Amino acid sequence: MIHSTAIISSKAEIDSNVEIGPYSIIGKNVFIGSGTVIGPHVVVDPYVTIGADCNIFQYAAIGAPPQSLKFEGGETYVKIGRGTIVREFVTIHRGTESGGGITEVGEENLLMAYTHIAHDCKTGRKVVLSNNATLAGHITIGDNAIIGGLVAIHQFVRIGDYAFVGGKSAVVKDIPPYVIASGDRAKLHGLNSVGLKRHGFSENTVSSLKKTYRIIFRIGLTMNEAIERVRAEVEQIPEVLGFIDFIKSSQRGITR
């Protein structure tokens, strides 16, 4: 059902099973999938794709041009995955021409009130961004990561899968998968053991990750020495290999 006061571009493509509330505005070249609910006073600007079964709450603003001085007004995009919840006053900006051209929110994300996702960011599946979490441009967040309230993340930072970032943190370097980080500036505080167990990771996997974390961050080795020791002493399961690969591929440096 589309409310009579909603303003819908003739160039928008909206599934017949979509609900759009009062006074919402849907721009051209917007695609909205089946079962999605758009609340009142929502603005969806051009070049936005919203997947099926999403829920967009009042006053969210999706697809505005990026806050980047390099942006030249090109045709860039926002894509929101299936089943994502976007709460009140969330802002999600389009990509930039030089940054890949698209901002992507993964499936089944929960974006709590006042979250901001800047240009060219990418979030994985089942990511939670708590109230007032702020992502600068070009940030990548892995699957099942949780970002606490009032967290500010510097541009180009990566947050690994299943990482937990505590509230009121300022994150300026990459945070590896499976860990807990918090503080200004953020520091590591161990493995996210509770989160891993809740997600069904085996005792062997958690134990192997704990050994990997201790060797890399707690016994004073250089990074190269630590990685070689992990390879020699820890079972090379996929999670351990992914942990090492994340660290080796860092461009901004690793939070410690």
Catalytically active residues are 119-120, 137
Neighbours of 172 (CB within 10 A): 17
Distance CA 74, CA 71 (A): 7
Angle between helical axes of 238-248 and 203-217 (0-180°, round to 10)? 30
3-state secondary structure of 92: strand
State the burial class of residue 139 (Cβ atoms within 10 Å of its Cβ: 0-12, 13-18, 19+).
buried
* 45, two tokens: 């600007």
Diameter of the chain by CA atoms?
A: 66
Distance CA 20, CA 22 (A): 7
Neighbours of 20 (CB within 10 A): 25
CA geometry: angle 29, 34, 37, nearest 5 deg: 85
* 3-state DSSP percent of the chain in helix, strand and coil, to 5: 20, 30, 55
190 closest CA partner among 213, 215, 159, 211: 213
Distance CA 183, CA 141 (A): 18
Angle between helical axes of 223-233 and 203-217 (0-180°, round to 10)? 150
